[in-house]
Amino acid sequence: MIALWILGILLALILLLLFLRVGVHIAFGDVLKMDAFAGPFKIAILPKKTKPKKKEKPKKEKKKEPAEEDKPKEKKKPGLTFTDVRSAIPAFFEAIKNTLHRTRMRMRIDPMRLAITFGSDDPAKTAEMYGWAGTAMWTLMPRLEELIRIPNPSIHLDVDFQASSTKVEGEMGISFQIRDFFAIGFAGAKPALKWFVAFKKAKKLREAEENTQTNQEATEV
């Protein structure tokens, strides 16, 4: 009988944990602030608290390093390119779409307040960014509101041809239940893994091509 009571308590605790709501609240602008919460508990992540500076120990004399010319040149490995990022967008969009279908409106974005003022050194580029952002907002937001609970979304787009950079400010809170971690994992794993395998193959191919080109240049010299 006692064993059944213990088992029942454990099952109840597991259910409470799975249905516990967790999330983050981010405020951005002049200062970036981030808080994480789990149920009634809240933890400040950013900005980090400054620790008192420790007394500096006397510095030891460092050995002279060889000049840059004497150092052997290290080959730069090809990293993530724009093509890789562009190829990742469909895969991760599919993962996000599948995830939101599985969470069944349990995911919540509240608040959602975003103000973007586009600016750059090139007025034509500024206008292009503003037009692209407006099209993306009107295309994605209705679909997003069908999959996620967003009680009071507020997105304001503006353009400033006198500004040299884009300014973004606002706040956003995202929350979901712990059981949604499993839905996110199952829905997002397949397309993410598929893209990662393709990325690794493309990277190896680029490395082989660069090594071949380097060997040809060394042979010609």
One-character DSSP codes across 166-192 = -EEEEEEEEEEETTHHHHHHHHHHHHH
Half-sphere exposure of 137 (CA within 13 A, CB side): 15
Per-residue pLDDT, 30: 84
Q: Is the pLDDT confidence value at 47 over 50?
A: yes
**Residue range 26-44: mean pLDDT, rounded:** 90
- For 94, residues 6+ apart whose C-beta sits below 8 A from its C-beta are 191
Q: Could you report the per-residue pLDDT of 122-153, keeping only the tens digit for each? A: 999 899 889 988 888 888 888 888 878 899 99
Question: In angstroms, what is the C-alpha Rg of the chain?
Answer: 25
Per-residue pLDDT, 76: 47
By the 8 A CB rule, do 22 and 35 touch?
Answer: no
Q: Look at residue 21 and give its three-state secondary structure.
A: strand
Nearest to residue 110, comparing CAs of 26, 43, 33, 19?
26
Q: Is the pLDDT confidence value at 51 over 80?
A: no
- The confidence band for 157, taking pLDDT boundaries of 50, 70 and 90, is very high
Per-residue pLDDT, 88: 64
Amino acid of residue 161: F
By the 8 A CB rule, do 188 and 96 touch?
Answer: yes
Q: Could you report the per-residue pLDDT of 74-121, keeping only the tens digit for each? A: 444 445 555 656 566 666 666 666 667 666 668 889 999 999 999 988
Long-range contacts of 123-127 (CB under 8 A, 24+ apart): 123/161, 126/159, 126/160, 126/161, 127/159
* Helix orientation angle between 82-103 and 180-220, rounded to the nearest 10 degrees: 170
Higher pLDDT, 198 or 100: 198
